[in-house]
Structure 1
């Protein structure tokens, strides 16, 4: 609470502030505050989850859980040990060999007490004595990528794999099948390389985190990073392979995403004869996606504030121009030489005023007249107009779900949303047909309403859409689609993919503003040359009896 109070005071004083590492029952958060509004008279609070990776705890949970049981079925003994030599977790195969009871609780016991060695430095389980099968002890230091690198092997938590020793000590690949069995099952991004920097193995999570699309890793870890970072990575691999069983990390830039450096953790592996290195890479794709979404939302908010302020001021000027035009028209008759010029000034001013209304819609500052209504009623009201709008070459398909919830919105503005999306769909289809000389598939625009429950939203696992009940509207076309590098910009004011003079770039920004001002959410999906789909989610409104009666009446929209 103190940290929030300090951040609050600093934001009012300096215009912005932040508070890090705030803990709650639901995790750790970072809070950013910034002053906003035309007079900077209110604050915007942004709460962002802080995702940290505790590799030691994750490894212990996997070895002591389902993964450990799977390894035990392959006779692979595994234990995670802290720097004091205390067992944090072990699988049943280790418990069976160490104590004679697979169900023994190993956590909290002394790891070294279960082992012994003979004059030839062969390692045995203490309870089996010299008559037991010797085991190869593979030591993998576990580096926490979110912590400070610790180069002291005595202070580094470790994963120990115990493998029945049936091979010569110098054979590095003798224990690889068992190690691969472990690494392939872990959701953590892990790989192994030999002392020459060649990959011995890499699991799917590692390749995914590195942005490598193939299931087979490249020959060298250095092949995954940009040219400037290859030397540093090669040197680090050799250093950790030849030295003691230490752990550390190196900052590299991946070829798949060179704009942001990532931390690659390395740990020397002992017990496999020649030197080997364990590499760990965190899959940050979800975190990166969240950062992009937050940045996009912040940018849209800033553009909206600017657009709203400009629209208000410009609208005042236009109101004066239109007013003076009306006064001048009172003094000039249609036969006057200046009459047509004055009418042209007024007409252009009205068109400019229409653009300012669209900007106000985007910035969510226009006045809405919300009503309780059913979405199919709005679609029915405007469908005849939509058919004329899209033309005879394009088919309009309308489907409605059952048991749709009521929504509370301005019907006139919802019709504007449908018209704007239909115009975009028509243009996309016509462009595609023109490019194929009319030989492509017939154009289709689909309008669909869907009932979306809280369970459906939960299953979507969306970071943007809050869990709740929604009535959804989908508008889909089979036009030319939107390029991946453009889809993130389509809701920005004045952004258009149309030729110069054929689009204002305000159609989708108006849609965005109306949906957000109505308390809803809009998402766009597209695949080039195949389809584009806009999905609008409007929260279900639970009306009282009077509102239900009012909603049963025809939708009251302004005349077109």
Structure 2
């Protein structure tokens, strides 16, 4: 029923007549008084008497005008009818059953819920209520007209139990607002459940009583914390709706125990109190208490000792004199890898066949001999790869028990040992890879250099041109392989910059779409408020590409490749409780696929070099090791999560970069572009122990127009330096026999402190700068081409100032203040 629009406010009260009286009566009286005064003067001839009479009349008229009730002049008073649609919409929005009646008892407004409860929208109090509900409601309505408000809380209509609040309202208090609300009937079982789970249940627990409320079907409706802790093992477990009987077990003697507790614990006495006496199978209050008296009678002090041992955090078991197992706690079963419900009869059933006789003999010896302790090394049947130490101790005075066995859970210790061994192996492999890469870089430098020199004499179209290009291309592929080795060993040369990870993902997205093919769907999502990171953009692109290619290969039938960036705060890292990831702010990169997954035994090996799950000839095994090396060298962390058939997810955490004051100042300084020239002049001293590299570099620089002096080691370099009239640039290898490059440069700087130096090496620049403390040096990584060598030399000459010092522009450049 929609809100009624009554006609009680459609009339208008118009007081024009009274307004006119107030406006014209006083002037008429004044006129009449003057006329009367004129008549008196004319009849009597006394001007004083006429004036007094007129003044009296005028004064009385003025007094009457002042004491008369004032009305707004010419006011038209009009009351506008209320908009009941707004009231009805508000009531519907709040889900209220509301009705409004006027003084005549007519319903002028009602909500939809009111119509649902009372079909046909009858006007209160004439509602179809049970018993004398309508009469009570009418009495409450009369009280509301009299007192302003009233209530009635005993209304019912079938299953509906409601209460009503009546309020007199309106501009002239000429309406009644009827608000009906349902009354929730709290059942007896709900009342007892609230008490058991509240303060009363806490007090019962402190008194040693466990309590629970069960329904007629035997399921738990509520329980106190003492019961929950014993039944589930933790106090915050939710047992609502669980079968009560499932938490107990019965032994051969008919005693009741909690199912989760080990044998030997105290039995439980259960008392059932019916909540309704007329329902023997209805809801009940169940009270439980330990009964130690029966245990003492049946098993003496041994049961108490077993109950104590069951609570110990380390593995304990007991045997009798014949070697039969009487008891073992959960820690022992976990350390021995005993399946649930398969308790062995003898300790020998836990170890391999070769160790059974020795263990049985040791148990018998400790059982009948003097009380003593000792250890025996055995191999567990379920974990025979490494021996464990089993401690034995003879005991007396515990009835059948004669020997206590102690077994330590070495899972965590073994895992740490394996991690240390793995880290040691990876470090050794990394050092080997770095050395191999250095030697290969020298060879590849010579090959690539000679190819460049030959290409200067051959133009496209020559018969040898394509062959030379093929040699150079394969050499570059080999150089990429050595860079992967250096990346794995964390010895590659990185050019870190302050970047945003979403920018790197965006730059490489188009390439990824071509690499993964049409069967794989690429999904990219970025988090908000991502912090800046400091990393090499090119290497981070290589990380994403390697992970994407691996994901593609793991989804031969197609799937979804997901790349996500997100931020994680130090507080969130602490909540992770990771033993590897330090608490700090990170920007994360997650690459996930829906592929075949990785078996658990291979997840720990995937970052090892040359380890691959692909077929022979389809992978070098360096992809993930390269990713691992780049991430670690960038100061980050990488974790892999995978399960067979559920895909794989690689998560990378890079620390958020906080710019220092020097970096902020350097960011405001613009670096002048380097002057690159195609022809050079000056004298260069080239010191290189590898003949082939020295020959290539000498020919390349000579063709560039420089005068080149050569030396095979540091000592020869110093001799050539002292014998030359002028040396404008010193180019030297780092690692050389007799005297290495840094030692030679320190000696040369004593006599020529402004001598520019360009180091070239197959080792990483970062590694060299940590071990060499020499200012104003540039670095050229091997392998390099003729063009790269020429560019590095030209850049070195361009940066050389008249006084010989290199400019300090504050940015990452080949010229830096100090090698450390």
Same fold (TM over 0.5): yes
Shift of 1:549: 11
CA contact (8 A) 1:372 1:548 kept: no
Distance change >3 Å, CA 245–CA 482, structure 1 → 2: same
Give the equivalent residue in structure 2 for 1:462.
Answer: 578
Contact 1:372 1:547 in 2 (8 A): no
The question of 1:388 aligning with 2:506 is answered no
**Residue 347 of structure 1: aligned partner:** 473
Secondary structure in 1 matching 2:601: coil
Distance of 1:398 and 1:215 partners within structure 2: 48
1:58 aligns with none
The correspondence for 2:325, drawn from 199, 202, 217, is 199
CA distance in 2, matches of 1:492, 1:333: 44
Question: Which residue of structure 1 lines up, in the alignment, with residue 315 of structure 2?
Answer: 189
Distance across 2 between alignment mates of 1:472 and 1:180: 50
Is the Cα–Cα contact under 8 Å of residues 296 and 303 in structure 2 kept in the other structure?
no
Which residue, 451, 459, 465 being the options, matches 2:567? Answer: 451
Matched, 1:539 2:649: no
Q: 1:529 aligns with which of 639, 642, 645?
A: 645
Deviations 1:506-559 (A, max 9, x none): 1111101100100111122211122111121212222258659979xxxxxxxx
| 2:439 equivalent in structure 1 | 313
Q: What is the rounded CA distance, in whole Å, between the counterparts of 1:166 and 1:205 in structure 2?
A: 24
Determine helix, strand or coil for the equivalent of 2:608: coil
Alignment partner of 1:363 is 2:489: yes
Correspondences of 1:40-189 after superposition (within 5 Å): 173-189=299-315
Quote the offset at 1:494 in angstroms: 1.9
Q: 1:198 to 1:303 in 2, by over 3 A?
A: same
Match of 2:590 among 460, 474, 478: 474
SS for the counterpart of 2:473 is helix
Confirm or deny that 1:258 pairs with 2:374. no
- Which of residues 530, 545, 552 is equivalent to 1:419? 545
Distance 2:462 2:537 in 1: 42
Tell me if structure 2 keeps the 8 A contact 1:370–1:409. yes
> 2:616 aligned to 500, 504, 510, which one?
500
Counterpart in the other structure of 1:223: 349
- Aligned pairs (5 A) from 1:206-285: 206-214=332-340, 216-285=342-411
1:368 to partner: Cα distance: 1.2
**C-alpha displacement of 1:165:** 9.8
SS at match of 1:278: strand
Cα contact 2:391–2:405 (8 A) shared by 1: yes
8 Å contact from structure 2 (residues 391, 407) kept in 1 = yes
Is 1:331–2:447 an aligned residue pair? no
Deviations 1:108-165 (A, max 9, x none): xxxxxxxxxxxxxxxxxxxxxxxxxxxxxxxxxxxxxxxxxxxxxxxxxxxxxxx879
Deviation at 1:216, TM superposition (A): 4.1
Structure 1 distance, partners of 2:413, 2:576, is: 17
Q: Which runs of 5+ in 2 are unaligned?
A: 1-204, 210-291, 669-820
Alpha-carbon distance in structure 1 between the residues aligned to 2:494 and 2:564: 24
Verify the 8 A CA contact 2:484 2:622 in the aligned structure 1.
Answer: yes
Further displaced range: 381-390 or 277-286? 381-390
The 2-side partners of 1:185 and 1:373 are apart by: 54
For 1:60, the equivalent position in structure 2 comes to: none
Maintained 8 Å contact 2:527/2:566: yes
Q: CA deviation at 1:479?
A: 1.0
1:487 counterpart residue number: 603
Inter-CA distance 341–383: structure 2 relative to 1 (3 Å threshold): closer
State how far apart, in whole Å, the 1-side matches of 2:478 and 2:304 are.
72
**Which residue does the alignment assign to 1:510?**
626
Cα distance in 1, alignment partners of residues 378 and 208 from structure 2:
38
Q: Is the 8 A contact 1:447 1:474 kept in 2?
A: yes
Q: Is the 8 A contact 1:397 1:446 kept in 2?
A: yes
Structure 1 gaps of 5+ residues are: 1-69, 75-162, 434-441, 552-560
Residue 327 (structure 1) shift: 1.8
1:378 aligns with 2:504: yes
Residues 318-356 of structure 1 deviation map (CA, whole Å, 9 limit, x = unaligned): 110111112222333434333332222111111111111
Which one has the largest radius of gyration?
2
Residues 356-395 of structure 1, C-alpha deviations (whole Å, 9 max, x = no match): 1111111122221212222222222222322332122212
After TM superposition, the structure 1 stretch with the greater mean CA deviation from structure 2, 242-251 or 220-229, is 242-251
User: In 1, Cα distance between the equivalents of 2:572 and 2:318?
Assistant: 40
Tell me the secondary structure at the aligned position of residue 492 of structure 1. Answer: coil
User: 2:326·2:401 contact (CA, 8 Å) conserved in 1?
Assistant: no
Picking from 261, 275, 292, the partner of 2:418 is 292
Q: Distance in 2 between matches of 1:328 and 1:406?
A: 45
* Between 286-295 and 238-247, the greater mean CA deviation after superposition: 238-247
Offset, 1:401:
3.1
**What's the CA shift string for 1:11-60, capped at 9, x where partnerless?**
xxxxxxxxxxxxxxxxxxxxxxxxxxxxxxxxxxxxxxxxxxxxxxxxxx
In the aligned structure 2, how far is the partner of 1:399 from the partner of 1:334? 46
Tell me the SS of whatever aligns to 2:441.
Answer: helix
SS of residue in 2 equivalent to 1:519 = coil
Write the distance in 1 (CA, Å) between the matches of 2:294 and 2:371. 20
Provide, for residues 293-324 of structure 1, a one-character-per-residue CA deviation record: whole Å limited to 9, x for no partner: 11111111111111111111101101101111
Per the alignment, in what secondary structure is the counterpart of residue 328 of structure 1? helix
The SS at the match of 1:413 is helix
Query: How many pairs are equivalent?
Result: 381
**Structure 1 residues 334 and 383, CA gap change in structure 2 (3 angstroms):** closer
Structure 1 residues 315, 460: CA separation in 2 closer, same or farther (over 3 Å shift)? same
Aligned CA distance change for structure 1 residues 252 and 352 (closer, same or farther; 3 Å): same
2:395/2:403 contact within 8 Å kept: yes
Taking a change above 3 Å as real, the CA distance of residues 512 and 216 of structure 1, as seen in their structure-2 partners, is: same
Shift in Å, 1:214 = 2.7
Distance 1:520 1:243, change over 3 A: same
CA deviation vs aligned residue, 1:267-295 (integer Å, no higher than 9, x gap)? 22322323432211111111111111111
Are the structure 2 counterparts of residues 335 and 383 from structure 1 closer, same or farther at C-alpha, using a change threshold of 3 Å? closer
Task: Tell me, yes or no, if the aligned pair for 2:295 and 2:303 is still in contact at 8 Å.
Answer: no
Question: Are the structure 2 counterparts of residues 280 and 426 from structure 1 closer, same or farther at C-alpha, using a change threshold of 3 Å?
Answer: same
Q: Output the CA distance in 1 between the equivalents of 2:432 and 2:439.
A: 11
Partner Cα separation in structure 1 for residue 295 and residue 425 of structure 2 = 62
SS in 2 for 1:277: strand
